[in-house]
Amino acid sequence: MGKVYLVGAGPGDPELITVKALKSIQKADVILYDRLVNKELLSYAKKGADLIYCGKLPNYHTMKQDTINHFLVRYASSGKVVVRLKGGDPFVFGRGGEEAEALAKKGIPFEVVPGITSGIAAAAYAGIPVTHRDASSSVAFVTGHKQNNQQEDEKWESLSKGIDTLAIYMGVSNLPYIREKLIQHGKSRDTPVALVHWGTTEVQKTVTGTLDTIIDIVNEEKVENPSMIIIGEVVRYRDKIQWFEESLDKKSFMSEAL
């Protein structure tokens, strides 16, 4: 019997991967990796390791979840060390919990290797602290997928009234709906909003506005997925402490000068 490692690859910058995650990649016989995993990390795989792409695009799944589960069980059952490499953290909207359940059901040994999730990292690289003593004592990780039921409405009411900072994943296409629900349940139209596109990478781009203005700004700037949406007063700190995109601008300027 082999073993499966459910590994978080971090948010995009390959240097943000953990030491334990990197060691898992180096000893794997098989690596099943997702679309948002930085491909540079695959260069650490040992010679002869099987690299299997499982990436998903919005509304298009290269490999269905049941098929991924089947491969994890199959390879581990044949005695191989298997790494399931996921962007961010495997248990934060990564379906890692479902994969762990499938492995446990079949009696397959597995280990979870947490990773840095984009809800924290993309915000930090944009100069936005998701918590701050003067502005936010609570943060919620939220999926931006739309569901039409009573629980969905209750969820947005709780988020609007009870949470200081919202970090919303996979929400760009539903941003008008998210905005509508938050305002409907009492969030001020002046609440600051940021979208961080390809956070922590060299093509990171951040746009900011308010609930009242953000739709027009996103359309004008043509912001698409993958992007993190950060909503709350903490977004105002970006004006003072943004650092990463400024460093990219300086690096680009120096390259042009040379």
* Prediction pTM value: 0.92
Percent of the chain with pLDDT over 90: 88
Helix 214-221 × helix 175-184 angle, to 10°: 170
Report whether pLDDT(257) > 50.
no
Q: Is residue 21 part of a domain?
A: yes
Same domain for 112 and 133: no
Q: Is residue 258 part of a domain?
A: no
Q: Is residue 8 part of a domain?
A: yes
- Identify the active-site residue in 34, 86, 187, 228: 34
Q: What is the CATH number of the domain that holds 182?
A: 3.30.950.10
Same domain for 107 and 10: yes
Q: Pick the last residue of a domain from 61, 87, 116.
A: 116
pLDDT tens by residue, 97-119: 999 999 999 999 999 999 999 99
Q: 63 falls in which pLDDT band (50, 70, 90)?
A: confident
* pLDDT for the residue numbered 190: 98
Q: Quick one: three-class SS letters along 27-77?
A: HCCEEEECCCCCHHHHHHCCCCCEEEECCEECCEECCCHHHHHHHHHHHHH
Our CA dihedral for 180, 184, 190, 195, rounded to 10 degrees, sits at -30
Same domain for 128 and 88: no
Same domain for 97 and 207: no
* pLDDT for the residue numbered 35: 92
Structure tokens at 227: 């992007």
Q: Is residue 171 part of a domain?
A: yes
> For residues 227 and 188, what is the distance between their CA atoms, to the nearest angstrom?
23
Same domain for 208 and 223: yes
Structure tokens at 199: 């956070």
86 is known as an active-site residue: no
Q: Quick one: three-class SS letters along 173-235?
A: CCHHHHHHHHHHCCCCCCCEEEEEECCCCCCCEEEEEECCCHHHHHHHHCCCCCEEEEECHHH
Same domain for 50 and 16: yes
The average pLDDT across 48-74 equals 87
56 is known as an active-site residue: yes
Distance set, CA 142 to CA 155, 224, 241 (Å): 10, 18, 25
Q: Is residue 217 part of a domain?
A: yes
The average pLDDT across 82-94 equals 97
Q: Pick the last residue of a domain from 56, 81, 116.
A: 116
Same domain for 69 and 129: no
Q: Is residue 210 part of a domain?
A: yes
Same domain for 186 and 95: no
* pLDDT for the residue numbered 253: 42
Same domain for 129 and 103: no
- Identify the active-site residue in 20, 153, 155, 170: 170
Q: Pick the last residue of a domain from 116, 135, 166.
A: 116
Same domain for 28 and 16: yes
Report whether pLDDT(55) > 90.
no
* pLDDT for the residue numbered 146: 79
Residue 231 near residue 182, CB atoms below 8 Å:
yes
Q: Range of 73's domain?
A: 3-116
Report whether pLDDT(254) > 80.
no
pLDDT tens by residue, 160-175: 999 999 999 999 999 9
Provide the number of structural domains found in the chain: 2
Q: Is residue 252 part of a domain?
A: no
Percent of the chain with pLDDT over 70: 94
* pLDDT for the residue numbered 217: 98
* pLDDT for the residue numbered 250: 61
pLDDT tens by residue, 195-235: 999 999 999 999 999 999 999 999 999 999 999 999 999 99
228 is known as an active-site residue: no
Same domain for 218 and 191: yes
Same domain for 86 and 22: yes
Q: Is residue 33 part of a domain?
A: yes
- Identify the active-site residue in 20, 23, 56, 106: 56
